[in-house]
Structure formats: C-alpha cells, structure tokens
C-alpha cells in the first residue's frame, strides 16, 4: 500500500497550530512576530511568491510588510533598507526574494541580513550553525521535507538517503538535516556517474533537480519513500515534479505529489522560522 504524503493538508495543520501559538504569544507578552519581505524587480513568479508569503504571515496573525523596489535599485539602497529592518524592533524575520537582478551581489545582500532575523536560513553564519548541529533558522524547503516525514512517522535512522541536487537552498541543507537524523546520505548532481544506480539503493529518495519526470519506475526500489521537491512547468502549463508520479507511485511505500507535496510546506516553514526567531530574539518572554 502506498501512502500519499499530503503536504497541503500538513501545511494547513501547521499554519493553524502557528496561528494559535501567535495568539498565545501576543496574549502572554504583547508581542506580534513580524516578517518583512523584500522584492526587487518585476519577475512575475517572484511577485506571486512574495505576495503569498506576506499573506500567509498575516493569515497566522503575524505582522507582514512587503517592500517592493524597482529592478534598477542600486545595491547600496537595498543594503540600507536591510540595515533599517535589522534595527527595527517590530521585525523578527527578513526575507529577500531571490533571484535578485544581476546588478546586485546576492551573497553580499544575504550576508547583510542580521543572522538573528534570517527567515530563510541562508546567512553564512546560520549555514555553519546548521552544519555544526547548533540551533539556527533552517532553509524552508528541506526543513519542510523533514517535518513532512516526521508527521508521517517515517523513520530516518540508518536509512540509505539519496538526494538528487546539491544547491545551497535544497540539496546541501537537506543532506545536513538527514545526516543529523542518522541517515546514510549520498548527494548526486549533474556529474554523477550512473544516477539510476544510486537511486535504486535509496530507502529515501529526495529529488531536487528541476528536471520534469526523469525519475522513472526502474530507478526506484520497491518500498522506497520518494520525496519530489522539483517543480517544473510543462509546455501545456501543467506543473509536474522530477518524478514520473503515475509510474513510480505504485512501487513506493510513500510518495509526495506535485503539486500539493513539498511546495506548500515551504511557506509553512518560513512562518515557523519567523515565530522561532521572534521568540528566540526576545528571550525571557
């Protein structure tokens, strides 16, 4: 029997729980966690993402602020805004939507966000803390994957986990999280020889390549758990994952769909990070 891992329902549950926690925090201490979202430019997908993030924060009872800057904003102006937000007592989490226009140095911008307000967990200090096993905001998508697996009681200790993709936002932090949970982790990428061979050894296969439906049934071991992070738009407008879902699902013990799997968890984890940052920064509450 295959379990369909329902990210949409789980994310809704988490957002409800967070809403209650935010109410409680406000009642007890008068604090309302605040998220500042910064968007530079007019990229249509980024406009939708940032709007959804700000709305989701408001939906949980948090303060939300969306700062929209034109594409030709000088880097110094963006850095000045981030510094203002770093100093703003009402802001607990700062998120700068990526990618930034080519004229702006993304690394410099990420490093300018106060590590104590780093809602995405991308600041180099927090990346280091994650790898050292210290408390830190964790990149939302891989955090969402581990929370989903936990909520479905999928054990990780001793499992062969194979991650497809080594980006800083998904693959690498995913590997750190699964290693911390005692899985034996392999990371594959575009130079990996015989990807299918690695996939077939996986008890847990996490795909984050951004390649539509390239994971086929012959690449998946009977009874494996398959998590599909990929989001790919086909020419006909449909969204699909990296996994050929219809073919692969019957072989698995559990699988995430696309859409409705990992995607909805990402925003829920962003809000979780903001809540954690708010309570940590205002320790003593």
Tell me whether residue 23 is one of the annotated catalytic residues.
no
Tell me whether residue 247 is one of the annotated catalytic residues.
no
Site for ligand NAP in 139-158 (CB under 6 A): 141
**Position among 32, 52, 184, 192 found at the interface with ligand NAP (CB under 6 A):** 192
Q: Is 171 in the site for ligand NAP (CB under 6 A)?
A: yes
> CA-CA distances (angstroms) from residue 253 to 6, 42, 138, 180?
14, 42, 27, 23
Q: Is 262 in the site for ligand NAP (CB under 6 A)?
A: yes
Tell me whether residue 97 is one of the annotated catalytic residues.
yes
Q: How many residues at the interface with ligand NAP, by CB under 6 A?
A: 25
**Of residues 2 and 167, the one with the C-beta less far from ligand NAP:** 167
Shortest distance, position 142 Cβ to ligand NAP, whole Å: 9
Q: Is 15 in the site for ligand NAP (CB under 6 A)?
A: no
Question: Which one is catalytic: 118, 120, 228, 242?
Answer: 120
Residues 204 and 155: beta-carbon distance below 8 Å? no
Q: Is 210 in the site for ligand NAP (CB under 6 A)?
A: yes
Q: Which residue do the tokens 């007592």 mark?
A: 89
Beta bridge partners of 134: none
**Of residues 99 and 128, the one with the C-beta less far from ligand NAP:** 99
- Exposure class string for 91-118: b at 16+ Cβ within 10 A, else e: bbbbbbbeebbeebeeeebbbbbbbbbb
Q: Say how far apart CA 130 and CA 180 lie, in whole Å.
A: 9
Shortest distance, position 72 Cβ to ligand NAP, whole Å: 25
User: What DSSP string describes 162-199?
Assistant: EEE---TTTHHHHHHHHHHTT-EEEEE-TT-S-HHHHH
Which contiguous run of DSSP H or E holds residue 132? helix 124-132
Q: Is 191 in the site for ligand NAP (CB under 6 A)?
A: yes
Question: Which one is catalytic: 6, 64, 97, 242?
Answer: 97
Residues that are catalytic: 53, 97, 120
Chain contacts with ligand NAP (rule: CB under 6 A): 141, 164-167, 169-171, 188-192, 195, 208-211, 229-232, 262-263, 266
């Amino acid at each position: 029997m295959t379990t369909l891992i329902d990210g949409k329902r789980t994310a809704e549950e988490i957002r409800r729980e967070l809403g209650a926690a935010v109410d409680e925090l406000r009642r007890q201490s008068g604090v309302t966690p605040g998220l500042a979202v910064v968007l530079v430019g007019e990229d249509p997908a980024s406009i939708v993402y940032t709007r959804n993030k700000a709305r989701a924060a408001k939906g949980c009872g948090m303060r939300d602020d969306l700062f929209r800057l034109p594409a030709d904003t000088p880097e110094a102006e963006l850095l000045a805004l981030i510094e203002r937000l770093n100093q703003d007592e009402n802001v607990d989490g700062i998120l700068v939507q990526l990618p930034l226009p080519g004229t702006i140095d993304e690394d410099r911008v990420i490093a300018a966000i106060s590590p104590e307000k780093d809602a995405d967990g991308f600041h180099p200090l927090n990346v280091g803390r994650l790898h050292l096993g210290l408390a830190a905001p964790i990149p939302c998508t891989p955090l969402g994957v581990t929370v989903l697996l936990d909520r479905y009681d999928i054990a990780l200790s001793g499992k062969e986990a194979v991650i497809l993709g080594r980006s800083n936002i998904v693959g690498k932090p995913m590997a750190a999280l699964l290693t911390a949970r005692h899985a034996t982790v392999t990371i594959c990428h575009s130079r990996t020889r015989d990807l299918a061979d690695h996939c077939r050894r996986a008890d847990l296969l996490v795909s984050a390549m951004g390649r539509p439906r390239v994971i086929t049934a012959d690449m998946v071991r009977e009874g494996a758990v398959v998590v599909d992070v990929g989001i790919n738009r086909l020419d006909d407008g449909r969204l699909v994952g990296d996994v050929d879902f219809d073919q692969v699902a019957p072989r698995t013990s559990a699988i995430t769909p696309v859409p409705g799997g990992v995607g909805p968890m990402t925003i829920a984890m962003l809000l979780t990070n903001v809540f954690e940052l708010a309570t940590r920064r205002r320790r003593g509450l």
